[in-house]
A and B are shown apart, each in its own frame.
Chain A
């Protein structure tokens, strides 16, 4: 029997899907209705008709009598050598926001950074980025939220005044013996750490507290207990055959998702030579990206994790002769899993995202028994990107409240928003003499701090980074500071009484302390210049595997077993788009549909379909979850029974026009428990409040009506029959006949292949495309009316059981059909075919009939219902001069009333073709990378010339897994998909 795929519970149950917004759309009057009304409602409709006519004539007359404006062309007075008007420069730099690390390349056009790409030289990012890094460029131009000057007491001030005030208060604190609390996010910059040392030298009472809103505190402390090293090892998913994750969303948000996605995808890729893939088993409550990509997924309550982990430990210990412990009965039978893990000794990974020291100790013991340390888990190049210990911050807040703290400085943190006890913190802040925040844009903490000493944006700053031991990178400014801000390190140096500027400090540190570590460049200036050019400095890391100390174990096992279960549990998680809420004011991230729920512009309470039917809840009902927490319900297939998942990162109140008032902040519900912040809590009951709320979800936009567009198979079947799951392809090919003459492409013929086995659904491509192609943000209401403008739609399908479905991701952009249905119906030939096989779209010819949209079988065309740029009704990033600076000058900003769609990044194609011509050479395979291909951390998207017989693309197109969407209707798409292969012997849910 054919498998049934569905996109939402409503679709599966065959209920009509109605976005509340859609209803509104039907109800809201159209312009014609308005005119009708206007004419009908008045006693003299003829007069009104003439009024409208007169208005039209007058408008036409005014429009046509306009003079051509006089344009000025203003050359530089002294042209900087490196700037060529009309050509982009690329600067290697570093992205680290306290949470995610990425080696980046910033594209600067005429002095404006306009796009971020991954640095191909960086072993961490390998030329790719996450969606958040793509979006981070927008925060540079956030005119509404960024500080224009330093503030004292909320009023605009000068740096001199700030320096005077801060220095006095610091000196006063130092003399009175009060402590100075320097609260920072994880700092991975070696030079910044030195600056902080300088600061400490001047003010010895300084207490540097590393505070991560979403910390790895439990993991760090567990590693300290079991290895005597408070660091995080690196996880090599590419070397693993069996991967088990307990609530660690390593493909989405956990530690280093970009690098982990690349490694995981490497282990999942299949071809002629690589005939086997890894197997991923996930235990979690809410459906995460990792869970969606799992071969086996077990929805369990957060409190049940410990029982499963302990039981897995016991099973493995039994088999390997280790000590077993008494543990509560496990929620899941893990004996088979244990066998598989033992079978893949040294080639498996067990990861856990639970912020609990004891549980992490048990996990470490499992990995130790499986001999994974040194092979798949390695302490040599340990990760530096999380250093915060939750208790440190709690102690600091206690000190503040006891009046022991004189000055508190916040650097890159926003604890008023995301600390577990915001009230306590606010009281504490009242008791300190001076509070300083160095945030560069408005947030909840700057609102209560006496002084705001705004830092530069990271694209305006100098810095360095050591994300992993021995892996360094440099950060350089790509634009002069737009506002009167000052780099935080410069502020620290100034307050420390140093005459150094951070730029010089950084350079000196590198030339003195890093130059000696290499032998490639002899002179210090060469070393600095070339390293800065490359952006990275990576050293071979000596193997370092600390010995396993098992003495702490018994205690940990007992503690882990103590976790109590409740009937209903609330679980808090990070979303792919917003993370810990730092970037909530970024309209691109806000409008990025969550890969799983497909909801944007809100957080919600995800409940299981069963719970929904028991309590009579439908999506859109407001729920009271616990005291002080009311949130809209969303029915999430695969949600563990008795759990409600809620994303943090929302509920900002003082962040800016995009973020404020959107969703609910759940950080205050993440309380301390056993030394770490706990990401779940028990609740007594979940009740409906009776109110309704509208969610904007794209999950049911453009349903493909159950046609055979999703193809999958299992590994064993594929190994036997390479075209398993894709048998229809052959059939469709056989019927591929046409009355018309075949179109021949003499030269180039562009195509794209998407490996559905590698694609994890992370949606980085969606934002990468948005940044490259000036795709507008349309806002919640428009999204609800299916008017989202993204050129790539990340389709997510479910199949099988609603309680625990299999999930399937499929990025769908314009398929560039060679026999395109949209082209035939355009009355003005605004969309037609190029001789390179592109389905081109001439915006200025389009008259907006939308016939093409109706006739497109893939629903990838978007209509500009409004003018989104320079329109204050869409108050996001395209209605201010500063905001528009991010626009790509090589791509037209579309006007109201025209249709747009993916162009295969034709501007990049043209650019690289021109470059080849200027360099007098043939175009090489891989020269042209579309924006989506370039960002994809999994390397799932390959773009190229299908006529190039030596190219990569031809191998993929001739692979037996390759198929086209709706190939039976003979539109001849230029995009091919490779059938997904799951490594699953049985039904989901049974390991």
Chain B
């Protein structure tokens, strides 16, 4: 209130001393908005996990109208150290505590008085964002003119700079080529999809008022005109139709194959008709070497057929196992919970994601955009379609339960160090040789499982200290996996 009052006072003086100190006024204005912005920042960093600024209860109560319900001094005290107040027997504090399932609110003693003022002002002044008024047709999502699309593309890729000169361009973060898989920013097609959905993103709104701290940071200084956004949306409509551009890989091995073929043909022709090269050993060597290399190429490529080692596709959500399993140390089986008892390891359903992401609404690197996809799926009822990486052919029976549940094999044994991967990659080639190798080496856990008690002969061998591998139990029999 204090700061608020002082602003008012200063505004009055401002009017009085009118045009003279225009610059000062400008400075003041910016300082005011900075103070409020700081409140917003503090709120989003510390409070938003448990509180919403509406009536809706999250973990703690919704904060709409809290400044009217509670005295400001009380609020400050409560924010700094709520439990102390509860213990001291403050009536309101105890009531709030019990009303909210006795979940204690953490202390925030690091906040200065000014911080608290800013925060409370932000809460008090908060109004849900109103629809931005724009001069163009924002409902248009298709049927743009060719010129508009072209201009949009140039704006997006930075060929034409934005009117309000900033050196930023879209394409440096929002990729249009589908190879930069470690980029946590939403790709162009992602943006296009989010915008094109029914009730999708309002581009005009989010570009004016970024939704997350991350976005605010990276979009700093970006002021696009309505027309520019309109053109960019025109381009996005094209992107959504055509999809990402796939980079072509250089067909080195194919060219080598063809070149050798040509070389051999020449050698053969020379041997029969032209006879330019004197020593026939050269022809013979060329043909033998050519056939040898070609044969090797064919065999190598043949073996690779149907195998997808190192497959690392883009996923519909930039979900990082490194963040979840690595940094946050979430157990693999928290999400892939059925792996211990079912054939399949199970992809977590969206409602399982919501266990955490109901609260964690923004990512460190991806902001809100990626996590929003879960909410959108929940709201629209359209499930998330992940790209499957590990796939065995239909004639192979593989059970996770056998390996994870009964065999106590670590997930990493087959899937590699997933906890260090941002984007999951197929580490093993999943070939039969690879399976059989492991079955030849893995020891049966005779001691820990009573199932093996009836295998007397093997049991005795194991007791005598001999190594009993899965192979001895029939682990490399055809009908263990093929039926």
Q: Which residues of B contact A17 (CB under 8 A)?
A: none
* Contact flags B344-358 to A (C-beta < 8 A → 1, else 0): 101111111000000
A78-86, A257-265, A287-295: which one contacts chain B? A78-86
Set B454, B457, B474, B482: member contacting A843, Cβ < 8 A:
B482
Q: Is the beta-carbon distance between A85 and B338 smaller than 8 angstroms?
A: yes
* Contact flags B436-462 to A (C-beta < 8 A → 1, else 0): 000000000000011101110110000
Complex alpha-carbon distance, A907 and B398, angstroms? 11
Q: For the complex, is A74 an interface residue (Cβ under 8 Å from B)? A: yes
- B346-390 interface (Cβ within 8 A of A): 346-352, 377-378, 381-388
Q: Is the beta-carbon distance between A74 and B384 smaller than 8 angstroms?
A: yes
- With A842-B478, A921-B450 known as contacts, the answer to whether A85 contacts B344 (CB < 8 A) is yes
Q: Which residues of A contact B474 (CB under 8 A)?
A: 747, 834-836
Q: Which residues of B contact A835 (CB under 8 A)?
A: 473-474, 477
- Pick from B391, B402, B451, B480 the residue with the most CB of A within 10 Å: B451
Q: Which residues of B contact A842 (CB under 8 A)?
A: 478-479, 482
CB closest residue in chain A, given B301:
A64
- A643-663 interface (Cβ within 8 A of B): none
Set B308, B350, B472, B477: member contacting A77, Cβ < 8 A:
B350
Set B346, B351, B385, B453: member contacting A78, Cβ < 8 A:
B351
Complex alpha-carbon distance, A302 and B39, angstroms? 99
* Contact flags A319-357 to B (C-beta < 8 A → 1, else 0): 000000000000000000000000000000000000000
Complex alpha-carbon distance, A874 and B399, angstroms? 32
Q: Is the beta-carbon distance between B342 and A77 smaller than 8 angstroms?
A: no
Complex alpha-carbon distance, A773 and B360, angstroms? 47
Q: For the complex, is B195 an interface residue (Cβ under 8 Å from A)? A: no
Q: For the complex, is A75 an interface residue (Cβ under 8 Å from B)? A: yes
Q: For the complex, is B273 an interface residue (Cβ under 8 Å from A)? A: no
Q: Is the beta-carbon distance between A907 and B483 smaller than 8 angstroms?
A: yes
Complex alpha-carbon distance, A552 and B299, angstroms? 89
Q: Is the beta-carbon distance between B385 and A747 smaller than 8 angstroms?
A: no
Q: Is the beta-carbon distance between A747 and B454 smaller than 8 angstroms?
A: yes
Q: Is the beta-carbon distance between A72 and B394 smaller than 8 angstroms?
A: no
Q: For the complex, is A68 an interface residue (Cβ under 8 Å from B)? A: yes
- What number of B residues sit within 8 Å (CB to CB) of A? 58
Q: Which residues of B contact A986 (CB under 8 A)?
A: none
Set A64, A746, A747, A845: member contacting B305, Cβ < 8 A:
A64
* Contact flags A871-905 to B (C-beta < 8 A → 1, else 0): 00000000000000000001111000000000100
Q: Which residues of A contact B478 (CB under 8 A)?
A: 832, 834, 840-842, 845
* Contact flags B269-307 to A (C-beta < 8 A → 1, else 0): 000000000000000000000000000000001100110
- With A86-B346, A843-B482 known as contacts, the answer to whether A914 contacts B406 (CB < 8 A) is yes
Q: For the complex, is B405 an interface residue (Cβ under 8 Å from A)? A: yes
Q: For the complex, is A87 an interface residue (Cβ under 8 Å from B)? A: yes
- Pick from B346, B378, B399 the residue with the most CB of A within 10 Å: B346
Q: Is the beta-carbon distance between A914 and B402 smaller than 8 angstroms?
A: yes
Q: Is the beta-carbon distance between B454 and A86 smaller than 8 angstroms?
A: no
Q: For the complex, is A73 an interface residue (Cβ under 8 Å from B)? A: yes
* Contact flags A919-937 to B (C-beta < 8 A → 1, else 0): 0111100000000000000
Q: For the complex, is B22 an interface residue (Cβ under 8 Å from A)? A: no
- With A77-B378, A916-B451 known as contacts, the answer to whether A906 contacts B479 (CB < 8 A) is yes
Q: How far is the CB of A901 from chain B (nearest CB, A)?
A: 11
- What number of A residues sit within 8 Å (CB to CB) of B? 47
Q: Which residues of A contact B480 (CB under 8 A)?
A: 834, 910
Q: Is the beta-carbon distance between A843 and B395 smaller than 8 angstroms?
A: yes
- With A68-B306, A835-B477, A922-B453 known as contacts, the answer to whether A86 contacts B347 (CB < 8 A) is no
Q: Is the beta-carbon distance between B482 and A84 smaller than 8 angstroms?
A: no
Set B305, B308, B401, B454: member contacting A918, Cβ < 8 A:
B401
Q: Is the beta-carbon distance between A920 and B449 smaller than 8 angstroms?
A: yes
Complex alpha-carbon distance, A632 and B313, angstroms? 62
Q: How far is the CB of A741 from chain B (nearest CB, A)?
A: 16
- With A84-B342, A844-B395, A922-B451 known as contacts, the answer to whether A72 contacts B406 (CB < 8 A) is no
Q: Which residues of A contact B351 (CB under 8 A)?
A: 76-79
Q: Is the beta-carbon distance between B347 and A75 smaller than 8 angstroms?
A: yes
Complex alpha-carbon distance, A344 and B349, angstroms? 67
Q: For the complex, is A917 an interface residue (Cβ under 8 Å from B)? A: yes
Q: For the complex, is A71 an interface residue (Cβ under 8 Å from B)? A: yes
Q: For the complex, is B140 an interface residue (Cβ under 8 Å from A)? A: no
Q: For the complex, is A70 an interface residue (Cβ under 8 Å from B)? A: yes
Complex alpha-carbon distance, A918 and B340, angstroms? 9
Q: For the complex, is B341 an interface residue (Cβ under 8 Å from A)? A: yes
- With A84-B338, A903-B483, A914-B399 known as contacts, the answer to whether A70 contacts B457 (CB < 8 A) is no
- With A75-B386, A77-B383 known as contacts, the answer to whether A910 contacts B397 (CB < 8 A) is yes
Q: For the complex, is B227 an interface residue (Cβ under 8 Å from A)? A: no
Q: Which residues of B contact A841 (CB under 8 A)?
A: 478-479
- Pick from A64, A79, A903 the residue with the most CB of B within 10 Å: A79
Q: Is the beta-carbon distance between B338 and A918 smaller than 8 angstroms?
A: no
Q: Which residues of A contact B453 (CB under 8 A)?
A: 922
Q: How far is the CB of A845 from chain B (nearest CB, A)?
A: 8
Set B302, B391, B395, B454: member contacting A71, Cβ < 8 A:
B391
Complex alpha-carbon distance, A842 and B386, angstroms? 32
Chain A interface SS verdict (over half): loop
CB closest residue in chain A, given B402:
A914
Q: How far is the CB of A954 from chain B (nearest CB, A)?
A: 14
Q: How far is the CB of B97 from chain A (nearest CB, A)?
A: 32
CB closest residue in chain B, given A73:
B388
* Contact flags A75-106 to B (C-beta < 8 A → 1, else 0): 11111000011110000000000000000000
Complex alpha-carbon distance, A835 and B479, angstroms? 10
Complex alpha-carbon distance, A51 and B352, angstroms? 58
Q: How far is the CB of B391 from chain A (nearest CB, A)?
A: 6
CB closest residue in chain B, given A64:
B305
Q: Which residues of A contact B477 (CB under 8 A)?
A: 834-836, 838, 840
Q: Which residues of A contact B348 (CB under 8 A)?
A: 75
Q: How far is the CB of A847 from chain B (nearest CB, A)?
A: 15
Q: Which residues of A contact B386 (CB under 8 A)?
A: 72-75
Q: For the complex, is B343 an interface residue (Cβ under 8 Å from A)? A: yes
CB closest residue in chain A, given B397:
A890
- A32-53 interface (Cβ within 8 A of B): none
Set B305, B313, B395, B406: member contacting A70, Cβ < 8 A:
B313
- With A77-B378, A84-B342, A87-B343 known as contacts, the answer to whether A72 contacts B450 (CB < 8 A) is no
- A130-168 interface (Cβ within 8 A of B): none
* Contact flags B392-416 to A (C-beta < 8 A → 1, else 0): 0111010111100110000000000
Q: Is the beta-carbon distance between A79 and B305 smaller than 8 angstroms?
A: no
Q: Which residues of B contact A73 (CB under 8 A)?
A: 347, 385-388
Complex alpha-carbon distance, A380 and B181, angstroms? 75
Complex alpha-carbon distance, A86 and B392, angstroms? 14
* Contact flags A928-949 to B (C-beta < 8 A → 1, else 0): 0000000000000000000010
Q: Is the beta-carbon distance between A907 and B387 smaller than 8 angstroms?
A: no
Q: Which residues of A contact B338 (CB under 8 A)?
A: 84-87
Complex alpha-carbon distance, A76 and B349, angstroms? 5
Q: Is the beta-carbon distance between A86 and B383 smaller than 8 angstroms?
A: no
Q: How far is the CB of A752 from chain B (nearest CB, A)?
A: 16
Q: Is the beta-carbon distance between B342 and A892 smaller than 8 angstroms?
A: no
Please list 21 pairs of residues, one from A and one from B, whose beta carbons are closer than 8 Å in the complex, sorted by A's number. A64-B302, A71-B391, A72-B388, A77-B349, A77-B377, A77-B384, A79-B349, A79-B351, A84-B342, A84-B346, A86-B344, A834-B478, A834-B479, A841-B478, A843-B482, A844-B393, A892-B395, A910-B480, A910-B483, A918-B340, A922-B450
Residues of chain B touching chain A, judged by Cβ–Cβ distance below 8 Å, are: 301-302, 305-306, 308, 311, 313, 338, 340-344, 346-352, 377-378, 381-388, 391, 393-395, 397, 399-402, 405-406, 449-451, 453-455, 457-458, 472-474, 477-480, 482-483
Q: Told that A71-B391, A73-B385, A921-B450 touch, could you supply 5 new A-B pairs with CB distance under 8 A?
A: A74-B385, A79-B349, A834-B477, A903-B483, A923-B451
Residues of chain A touching chain B, judged by Cβ–Cβ distance below 8 Å, are: 64, 68, 70-79, 84-87, 746-747, 832, 834-836, 838, 840-845, 890-893, 903, 906-907, 910, 913-914, 916-918, 920-923, 948
User: Which 3 A-B residue pairs are closest in the complex by CB-CB distance?
Assistant: A86-B344, A86-B343, A840-B479
